[in-house]
A and B are shown apart, each in its own frame.
Chain A
Amino acid sequence: MALSPINTSGAASPFGTPTVKLHLGRLVETDGYFAARITIDTGKESVNAVELRLGFSKNDFRIVSIQDGNSIINGWVDRPTIDESAGTVSFSGIVPGGFSGADGLVATLLVEPRAAGTMPPLQMTGGMAFRNDGLGTPLAVSFDVEPWLVSEIPTSSNRLLTAEDRRPPEEFMPEIVRDRALFDGRAALVFMTEDKQTGIERYDVLEVPAGLRHGDVSGWHEAESPYLLLDQALRSDIYVRAVDYAGNFRIVSVPAPSAPRLIFDSNANTAVALGAFLILLGGITLWLIRRYLRVRS
């Protein structure tokens, strides 16, 4: 029997037609998890910014994560967020240059039903889409959801939807920015990448002070772009780790722009070279003093 999508909320915007359709697909079981795709149908429009807020019944299922692998969204304004206690998910993002199409993947929900049966549909509590016209013209948004049916709760304890994702996130190059528009002109780091399978779960940043190496410090901490650098003297090497939902990661580094690298590098060979240099310097100084005293006498 074919099941029709449920329109849980009609046009959410008073701006009239044309309407951008956001669609939440059916639950598809994979390796013990259930996944549902949120897609966008822009009709004949080109859309470059989308926001969606959904409410769900937290008694019937848990939304484990919102993954952005293969999403048409290239820049999140508000990263996908789950508020378990409030029973909401929300996100907003942009597509530079615009998207026009009927089945653009926006995000994938990973869902853990609490019991078998028909899940109550998610409700759109807010939705916006803007035309790619340079004016930010709002478009009406509708939302429908296919019925979520769960015949049996998987017993697998090894739930790994992400098992097939063995590729790290895409290459990227963070940039150090010092602009009065950002953090009052203090040095900041900007970065962004994608993962073509499960999506980016988080970014971590590590600043390695001069004289130390990547493995010498354990100060990774989760960060978002733009990131205010701790070392404003820019004498630290900076590492950014992009981690996908399967745990694959890519680490890229930005060498310290103003580190006097030869002197402060703790590499053993460099230390030997530094020692030899200091001994030589001391010897020359001693020789100059003795020569001075000899001339004077």
Chain B
Amino acid sequence: MIRPTMKHQVIRSIGIFLAFSQGLFLPFSVHAADMTTGAVIVTSIPSDPSDLSATGVSAAGINLSWTDNSLNEDGFSIERKTGSSGTYAEIATTTANVASFPDSGLSAGTVYFYKVHAFNGNGFSGYSNEASASTFAAGGGGGGGGGGGGGGASSFPTGVVFRGIAYPKSSVTLLKDARVAAITKAGPDAQFEIRVSDLSPGTYNFGVWAEDANGNRSLTQVFTITLAMGATTMVSGIFIAPTISVDKIETRRGDPLTIIGFTAPNAEVSVSINSDSDILKKIVSDVVGAWVYKFDTNEVDYGDHTTHALAKYEEDISINSKVLAFKVGTKNVFVEPQKKCPARGDFNNDCRINLIDLSILAYWYKRLNPAPVYDLNGDGRITLIDFSILAFNWTG
């Protein structure tokens, strides 16, 4: 479906939105692994302005100037507060490619603080540095020279922003080409945002995963994105898959199997039991995102089954969680207390699966008689299958 608008056109394809800004062609593409239900929006917001400076020029005026780092802004929004304890409010907007603003009508001898951000039809950039200046004293000369802290590159930076929902107060990790690029913490509402800037234009594999309050990790959601030079690409609408765990490997038929996990707060969780006929149960997570479902094992026959979950939060639907296997039999076999470190592949026991573990596996690749610990699928040799298992468990 193609829905042209005045500013840009949005193309929806297999649950993925791509946006192309008019005037500046942004040839990005995105693919998300396991994206069966989730809708991710990819847009291009302006790059952050930088080098904001403020200079008092009279008893009632302060001049602002900044560096325009964006090729695709519609304008800039200027915010001001009075004194360091004041509250910022927008005082003006400019049109595109404007990098200065004379603020007037101010009180004499007063310190004002400013920050600026760019906007377009897709949203706002991040803020510039903060700058402050003082107007001249009434009847006096001289005046407060301002100045901005920080500052950015004068060229047009290339960057990417990821926004979405994880679990309340969870740790969210962003991988860039398999290495950790940033870690952030989701808010109490499970919302997160991660920015990476000063990248080279080109194609990247970005991966996002989260860790819940019990130390369980989500699946990694991967986005293959081609970043255009001088533009900040925004990937929003990410909904991290719920975490999931079960209390028993084998459950005596008739006893309940407890399935638990985390997702967004007050989200609708659909728990699937995959048996001869699939069973779907719906529950709601609590305010901290925790969900629990006690499955009545009388509903399935003796034998091996699997379970997984997905969540719906407002209009967003997550991708599927990991798939867990369990057995309905004649006795209860509880899951061993969870190990803090990840699953198979953490060869150096640092609780991460990354380049070091890949190097260790590569060292044993094609060698005779590798130790069983490196033979992840237990077939007696190190093959590409073992690397596939390592890649699935990768944490960066």
Chain A residues in the interface with B (C-beta under 8 A)? 44, 46, 48-49, 51, 69-72, 74-75, 77, 92, 94-105, 128, 130-136, 138, 167, 170, 172, 175, 177, 179, 181-183, 188, 190-192, 194, 196-197, 225-226
Contact = CB atoms under 8 A, between A and B. Distances in A.
B356 A177 contact: yes
30 contacts: A46-B34, A70-B202, A70-B226, A72-B203, A75-B355, A75-B387, A77-B387, A92-B384, A94-B390, A95-B205, A95-B222, A95-B391, A96-B205, A96-B207, A96-B220, A97-B205, A98-B222, A99-B31, A101-B29, A128-B384, A131-B388, A134-B393, A175-B356, A179-B348, A181-B347, A188-B359, A190-B355, A191-B355, A192-B178, A226-B363
Contacts of A69: 202
Query: Which of B203, B356, B391, B393 is packed against the most chain A CB atoms within 10 Å?
Result: B391
A177 B220 contact: no
B302 interface: no
B202 A48 contact: no
A48 B32 CA distance: 13
Given A94-B390, A182-B363, A190-B359, A100 B33 contact: yes
A130 B385 CA distance: 7
Given A94-B388, A97-B205, A196-B201, A77 B362 contact: yes
Interface string B26-51: 00010111111000000000000000
B224 interface: yes
A98 B177 contact: no
B167 interface: no
A243 B363 CA distance: 23
A98 B392 contact: yes
Contact of B396 (A72, A96, A98): A96
Interface string B341-364: 001000110000001101110111
The size class of the interface chain B forms with chain A is 35 or more
Dominant SS among interface residues on chain B: mixed
B291 interface: no
A84 to B, nearest CB: 22
A142 B241 CA distance: 31
Given A49-B388, A181-B348, A196-B202, A99 B207 contact: no
Contacts of B192: none
B177 A74 contact: yes
B175 interface: yes
Given A70-B203, A96-B394, A132-B33, A179 B224 contact: no
Given A74-B205, A132-B392, A181-B347, A98 B33 contact: yes
Given A72-B205, A181-B348, A192 B355 contact: yes
A202 B343 CA distance: 32
A101 B347 contact: no
Contacts of A194: 177
B177 A170 contact: yes
Given A77-B362, A97-B391, A128-B384, 12 more contacts: A74-B205, A75-B387, A96-B396, A97-B220, A99-B224, A100-B31, A134-B393, A136-B384, A175-B355, A179-B348, A188-B359, A194-B177
B16 to A, nearest CB: 10
A225 B358 CA distance: 10
Contact of A99 (B205, B363, B373): B205
Contact of A133 (B360, B390, B392): B392
B89 interface: no
Contacts of A196: 200-203
B200 A132 contact: no
Contacts of B101: none
Contact of A104 (B31, B371, B389, B393): B31
Contacts of A190: 355-356, 359
Interface string B295-327: 000000000000000000000000000110000
Contacts of B94: none
B374 interface: yes
Contact of B384 (A77, A135, A183): A77
A179 B356 contact: yes
A283 to B, nearest CB: 50
B293 interface: no
Contacts of A96: 175, 178, 205, 207, 220, 391, 394, 396
A105 B175 CA distance: 19
Contacts of B31: 99-102, 104
A170 B200 CA distance: 8
A74 B392 CA distance: 13
A226 B359 contact: yes
A75 B356 CA distance: 12
A74 B178 contact: yes
B386 interface: yes
Contacts of A167: 200
